[in-house]
């Protein structure tokens, strides 16, 4: 039975979302995945439809989204649907929605030097074999500095600073470039590479995304029949119990 994926693109045109969505569609179709492509956030309005998918690929930068739509996505991923994406299309999508940031594992805060910075992507040896066979490589693009969930498993990094700026006098840091995490039963995959279409079509970047898409989409079958975890009481039991996303404190 074919796996099913939904790609939703939009937001800031500078990230060439339509072109990147088309590349992602081609990658998935090569892997015999049935793909639906949408240019509206209303594609997230039907929670049952989302739960019927194997994979959600957001590619929407600097937008605003209704809380109920994020809730729908979150619940689908918690039930086992994978979510995977790149660059600002996934981790600079909705700056005012912390639920989205918690689910995806991080959020963009800067790209010192802007576009055209040459930097190294360093593949890490970890428990994951997702990037096996891919060697360290150079990219000329935006070098993303992100605020990152410490729970992620980091699969690739880049060293800061490369460009002089207010961050330069800090100790050098290895910033995550590619990571995975879990959200309920769902698999989450992210790569900060992919500013524009010609970066996504770099052989290494295309392979990273292909591997990430397939890994994220496989999770639903592996955890079929398991009960998805939701927010629960912690600590001394006096904390509020959450049954879904978007509740106020």
User: 130, 232, 234: which is closest to 177 by C-alpha?
Assistant: 130
Within-domain flag for 246: no
Residue-number span of the structural domain to which 204 is assigned: 4-222
Task: Assess whether pLDDT exceeds 80 at residue 243.
Answer: no
Within-domain flag for 67: yes
Task: Assess whether pLDDT exceeds 50 at residue 241.
Answer: no
Q: Which residues lie below 8 Å from residue 150, measured CB to CB, with a gap of 6+?
A: none
Residue 93 contacts residue 43 (beta carbons within 8 Å): no
User: What CATH code is carried by the domain that includes residue 143?
Assistant: 3.40.50.880
- As for how many domains the chain has, the answer is 1
82-86 sheet: strands from edge to edge = 34-38, 4-11, 55-61, 82-86, 186-191, 173-183, 153-160, 117-123, 137-141
Within-domain flag for 196: yes
Q: 45-81: per-residue pLDDT in tens?
A: 999 999 999 999 999 999 999 999 999 999 999 999 9
Task: Assess whether pLDDT exceeds 50 at residue 245.
Answer: no
Q: 123-137: per-residue pLDDT in tens?
A: 998 889 999 999 999
pLDDT score for 179 = 98
Within-domain flag for 241: no
Chain centre distance of CA 90: 5
Within-domain flag for 235: no
Place of tokens 């072109």: 19
Instruction: State the DSSP H helix or E strand holding residue 119, giving kind and residue range, or none if neither.
Output: strand 117-123
Within-domain flag for 232: no
User: 80-100 in b/e burial notation, b at 16+ Cβ within 10 A?
Assistant: bbbbbbbbbbbbbbbeebebb
Within-domain flag for 249: no
Within-domain flag for 83: yes
pLDDT score for 231 = 64
Q: 4-33: per-residue pLDDT in tens?
A: 999 999 999 999 999 999 999 999 999 999
């Amino acid at each position: 039975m074919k796996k099913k994926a939904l790609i939703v693109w939009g937001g800031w045109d500078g990230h060439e979302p339509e072109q990147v969505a088309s590349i992602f569609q081609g990658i998935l179709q090569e892997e015999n995945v049935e793909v639906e492509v949408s240019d509206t956030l209303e594609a997230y309005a039907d929670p049952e439809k989302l739960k019927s998918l194997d994979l959600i690929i957001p590619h929407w930068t600097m937008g605003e989204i209704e809380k109920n739509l994020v809730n729908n996505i979150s619940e689908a991923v918690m039930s086992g649907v994978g979510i995977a994406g790149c660059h600002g299309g996934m981790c600079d999508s909705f700056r005012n929605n912390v639920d989205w940031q918690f689910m995806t594992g991080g959020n963009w805060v800067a790209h010192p030097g802007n576009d055209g910075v040459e930097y190294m992507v360093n593949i890490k040896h970890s428990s994951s074999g997702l990037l096996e066979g891919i060697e360290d490589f150079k990219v000329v693009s935006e070098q993303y500095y992100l605020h990152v969930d410490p729970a992620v498993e980091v699969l690739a990094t880049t060293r800061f600073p490369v460009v002089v700026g207010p961050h330069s006098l800090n100790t050098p840091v290895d910033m995550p470039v590619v990571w995975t995490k879990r959200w309920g039963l769902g698999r989450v995959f992210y790569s900060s590479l992919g500013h524009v279409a010609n970066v996504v079509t770099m052989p290494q970047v295309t392979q990273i995304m292909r591997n990430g898409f397939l890994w994220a989409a496989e999770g639903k079958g592996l955890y079929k029949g398991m009960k998805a975890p939701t927010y629960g009481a912690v600590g001394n039991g006096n904390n509020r119990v959450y049954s879904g996303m978007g509740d106020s404190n």
